[in-house]
Amino acid sequence: MSALNVRPLFAVPFGEARLAPCERLNHELEALFLQRETEEHRNPSPSHIPQAETFESRFNLFRWSEPCVQELRRFMLDAVARMVIETTTLRAEDIARLKFHNHTWFHISRHAGSFIAHNHPLASWSAVYCVRAGESVPGQPDSGVLKFLDTRQGADAYIDPANATLQRAYALRAFEMQLTAGQLVVFPSYVFHEVAPFYGRDTRITVATNCWFD
Amino acid sequence: MMLTPPLVVPILATPFGVVPLPEAAAGNAALATLFVARMRTDPRPTGQDPHCYRSGDDLLDWPEPAVRQAGAAILRGVCAVVREVNELPEAQLTALAVQARGWFTVVAPNGRVPAANYPLTAWCGVYCVAAPEASATRADSGVLRLYESRLGTMFADASTAAMRKPYTPGHYGWRPVPGQLAVFPASLTHEIALLKAATPLVLVTVRVRFVAPGQLGLARW
Chain A interface includes B99 (CB < 8 A): no
Nearest C-alpha neighbor of B54 from the set B1, B119, B107: B107
Q: Which of B47, B120, B140 sits opposite A49 (nearest CB)?
A: B140
Chain A interface includes B119 (CB < 8 A): yes
Give the pLDDT band of residue B1 (cuts 50, 70, 90): low
Chain B interface includes A167 (CB < 8 A): no
Give the pLDDT band of residue B3 (cuts 50, 70, 90): confident
Give the model's pLDDT for residue B106. Answer: 97
Q: Give A39-66 pLDDT, tens digit per residue.
A: 999 999 998 888 899 999 999 999 999 9
Give the model's pLDDT for residue A49. Answer: 84
Mean pLDDT of B77-82: 96
Residue A72 CB burial class (10 angstroms; 0-12, 13-18, ≥19)? buried
A128 within 8 A of A177, measured Cβ to Cβ: no
Strands B52-54 and B17-20: unpaired
Instruction: Provide CB contacts within 8 A for A130, sequence distance 6+.
Output: A179, A180, A181, A182, A183, A184, A205, A206
Mean model confidence pLDDT for chain A = 94
Cα distance from A46 to chain B (closest Cα, Å)?
14
% of chain B residues with pLDDT over 70: 99
Mean pLDDT of A152-172: 88
ipTM over 0.85: no
Give the model's pLDDT for residue B66. Answer: 96
Instruction: Provide CB contacts within 8 A for B204, sequence distance 6+.
Output: B31, B59, B70, B71, B74, B102, B103, B104, B105, B126, B127, B129
Give the model's pLDDT for residue B165. Answer: 87
**pLDDT for residue B149 is more than 90:** no
> How is the beta sheet containing A113-118 ordered, strand by strand?
A113-118, A193-198, A146-148, A175-177
Chain A hits for B194, Cβ within 8 Å: 51, 112, 114, 197
Mean pLDDT of B176-204: 97
Give the model's pLDDT for residue B219. Answer: 73
C-alpha span between A102 and B16 (Å, rounded) = 38
C-alpha span between A82 and B135 (Å, rounded) = 44
* Contact call for B194 and A112, based on CB within 8 A: yes
Mutate to test the interface with B, among A114, A137, A153 (most CBs of B within 10 A): A153
* Contact call for B194 and A52, based on CB within 8 A: no
Chain B interface includes A114 (CB < 8 A): yes
Chain B interface includes A124 (CB < 8 A): no
Mean pLDDT of B36-41: 93
* Contact call for A157 and B139, based on CB within 8 A: no
Q: Give B90-122 pLDDT, tens digit per residue.
A: 999 999 999 999 999 999 999 999 999 999 999
**pLDDT for residue A158 is more than 90:** no
Tell me how far apart the terminal alpha carbons of chain B are, to the nearest angstrom: 61
C-alpha span between B164 and A164 (Å, rounded) = 39
